[in-house]
Amino acid sequence: MPISSINPATGEVLKTFEALNRRELEEKLSRAADVFRAHRRTTFHDRAAMMNRAAEILESEKKSFARTMTLEMGKPINAAIQEAEKCAWVCRYYAENAERHLIDEPVATNATRSFVRFQPLGVVLAVMPWNFPFWQVFRFAAPALMAGNTGLLKHASNVPQCALAIEEIFSRAGFPEGAFQTLLVGSDTVQELLEDPRVAAVTLTGSEPAGRSVAGIAGQQIKKTVLELGGSDPFIVMPSADLEAAVSTAVKARTINNGQSCIAAKRFIVHGEIYDRFESEFVAAMKGLRVGNPVVESTDVGPLATKQILDDLDEQVKVSVAAGAKILTGGRPIEFTDELAGGNFYEPTVLADIPKDSPAYRDELFGPVASMFRVTSFNEAIELANATTFGLGSSAWTNDGPERERFIDELEAGSVFINGMVASDPRLPFGGVKHSGYGRELSYFGIREFVNVKTVWIK
Ligand code: NAP
């Protein structure tokens, strides 16, 4: 079956690719395994030189990579440029820190000498999503390659050009052919890959159903997994908060990447004392966003990445409204009549009075749709924030010290950001709890996921 690259702003088919055949797949697998044996023996110094070169390529050609991302999945062009820059950052971070993160750790015991050594696991399969088509891959690949593993990328089927561009960056940076390879295959090939003894471990960033499936297969094979899945992050605003900053951050946090971010703020939980003001300013700001062609620099919100995502989001809103939710702004797909007529555009939307059993309360809305909730106390805010099966990020706005401590302590999430927007940073661990997944990426936690933590004891 061909894999297609389609511009989500226009519907134009940009390019199609044939999926790898059996022989090609076999060649890539055996190359990944062969190269691992040599790559694991290279020094941190040599790996860092290649990783720094990858950073230079990313930075010097960021505009061209950004265009590939925007044309293929619709993110606003400036955000795509920033994504390429952030990838350069994570490459440099691990080039500089990998050795320190993986140095032998002495432990005093009854032995003459005992310590922990961190050794690479082998070929790691990365199943990745389209929404941050470079960043998701680099935040896996930089630590994995620096630790001495080799990588196989099964990217989302709608971003084949991004997938090939990333493979080329590592190759041009000097990594041996086979250290990082893109596999143009559909998700139906993942099981076979996981069952192959040459694949040692898997990381998946994507939806909960995909995570369940991959973890189930990997479980049967007793292979290490890291799962970065969906989220329905709360954004809580208390009376002591700086309201102006909270509103402008709320708009950005909900609409970043056209609303398609796992750590986008999705549920806005606002204390009654300030609710009315927050709601009117938030709705006005959402209404003021410019929706349009993402290659135009002034566009705030571009199209959703695929027609299916648009249809799913539209359905979630319709069902929520039928159940009793109120639309404060938006609530419909946008039908342009110009060259964007074939695009997957949706109005920036705010919903309120959301009933408990509706999708806007329960599920992840992957698009520019905000769900608003009014609460009357701190306890109610926490209870509502935690009333989800997800637990990825959380953002709480308050200038009250004890309240801040309770948010940090009681929010069930992989991260808590106080008076700021949830964002990933190479220096800090990233990941979730509950159905948002397990394991961590980034910082020293990330580089230690795909290593053998070997105990050494010498009499
Ligand atoms: P998706 O449908 O799960 O796809 C993600 C990747 O998994 C793609 O490469 C896809 O391949 C593959 N895949 C899908 N079903 C699979 C299966 N049963 N077995 C093996 N592989 C499978 O997710 P998406 O719609 O692209 O991405 C959106 C989701 O990702 C959201 O829920 C979002 O919150 C989450 N996400 C999480 C993070 C995080 O860090 N926690 C970051 C970004 C996104 P095909 O494209 O070939 O189907």
pLDDT of amino acid 2: 76
- The CATH number for 413's domain is 3.40.309.10
Residue 385 — pLDDT band, cuts 50, 70, 90? very high
Give percent of the chain with pLDDT exceeding 70: 100
Residues 302 and 164 in one domain: no
- Residues annotated as catalytic (active site), given as ranges: 228, 262
Q: What is the spatial distance between Cα 361 and Cα 373, in angstroms, rounded to a whole number? A: 9
Residues 8 and 101 in one domain: yes
Residue 171 — pLDDT band, cuts 50, 70, 90? very high
Residues 164 and 38 in one domain: yes
Q: Residue 353 region, left (φ>0) first, then alpha (ψ -120 to 50), else beta?
A: left
Residues 175 and 318 in one domain: no
Residue 440 domain-assigned? yes
Residue 430 domain-assigned? no
Residue 326 domain-assigned? yes
pLDDT of amino acid 131: 97
Cα–Cα distances (Å) from 313 to 62, 131, 159, 359, in that order, read 31, 15, 20, 10
pLDDT in tens, 213-261: 999 999 999 999 999 999 999 999 999 999 999 999 999 999 999 999 9
Residue 403 domain-assigned? yes
Q: Is the CB of 414 under 6 A from ligand 1?
A: no
Mutate to test the pocket of ligand 1, among 4, 131, 390, 394 (most ligand atoms within 8 A of CB): 131
Residue 73 Cα to ligand 1 midpoint, Å, equals 14
Beta bridge partners of 301: 291
- The CATH number for 61's domain is 3.40.605.10
Residues 25 and 153 in one domain: yes
Mean pLDDT of 273-300: 98
- Using CA positions, which residue lies closest to atom 26 of ligand 1? 129
Quick one: CA torsion of 279, 283, 285, 286, rounded to 10 degrees?
Answer: 130
Q: DSSP 3-state assignment of 114?
A: strand
Residue 385 Cα to ligand 1 midpoint, Å, equals 24
Residues 94 and 192 in one domain: yes
Q: Is the CB of 167 under 6 A from ligand 1?
A: no
Mean pLDDT of 373-399: 98
pLDDT in tens, 417-449: 999 999 999 999 999 999 999 999 999 999 999
Name the percent of the chain in helix, strand, coil, to the closest 5.
Answer: 45, 20, 35
Both tokens of 236, joined, read 């809580």
Residues 23 and 123 in one domain: yes
Q: In what order do the strands lie in the sheet with 199-205?
A: 180-182, 150-154, 123-127, 199-205, 224-228, 437-438
Nearest ligand 1 atom to the CA of 185 is: 47
Residues 96 and 194 in one domain: yes
| β 224-228/437-438 pair status | antiparallel
Other CB atoms within a 10 A radius of the CB of residue 232 amount to: 26
Whether the full predicted model's pTM is greater than 0.95, yes or no, is yes
Residue 431 domain-assigned? no
Mean pLDDT of 305-333: 98
Residue 51 Cα to ligand 1 midpoint, Å, equals 26
Residue 459 Cα to ligand 1 midpoint, Å, equals 48
Residue of 275, 361, 278 lying closest to 325 (CA atoms): 361
Nearest ligand 1 atom to the CA of 155 is: 9
Which helix (DSSP H) or strand (DSSP E) does residue 403 occupy? helix 401-410
pLDDT in tens, 133-166: 999 999 999 999 999 999 999 999 999 999 999 9
Q: In what order do the strands lie in the sheet with 369-375?
A: 326-329, 349-352, 369-375, 265-271, 233-237, 395-397, 417-418
Residues 345 and 238 in one domain: yes
**DSSP 8-state secondary structure symbol assigned to residue 130:** S
Q: How many domains does the chain have?
A: 2
Residues 156 and 294 in one domain: no
Nearest ligand 1 atom to the CA of 190 is: 20
Q: Is the CB of 262 under 6 A from ligand 1?
A: yes
| Containing structural domain, residue 280 | 233-425
Length of the chain: 459
Dihedral (CA of 452, 132, 265, 311) sign: negative
Residue 308 domain-assigned? yes
Beta bridge partners of 396: 236, 418
Residue 1 pLDDT more than 70?
Answer: no
Both tokens of 58, joined, read 């990313």
Q: Is the CB of 129 under 6 A from ligand 1?
A: yes
Other CB atoms within a 10 A radius of the CB of residue 152 amount to: 25
Supply φ then ψ for residue 248, to 5 degrees: -65, -35
Residue 56 — pLDDT band, cuts 50, 70, 90? very high
Q: Is the CB of 187 under 6 A from ligand 1?
A: yes
Residues 282 and 410 in one domain: yes
Residue 251 domain-assigned? yes
Residues 266 and 156 in one domain: no
Residue 75 pLDDT more than 90?
Answer: yes
Residue 164 domain-assigned? yes
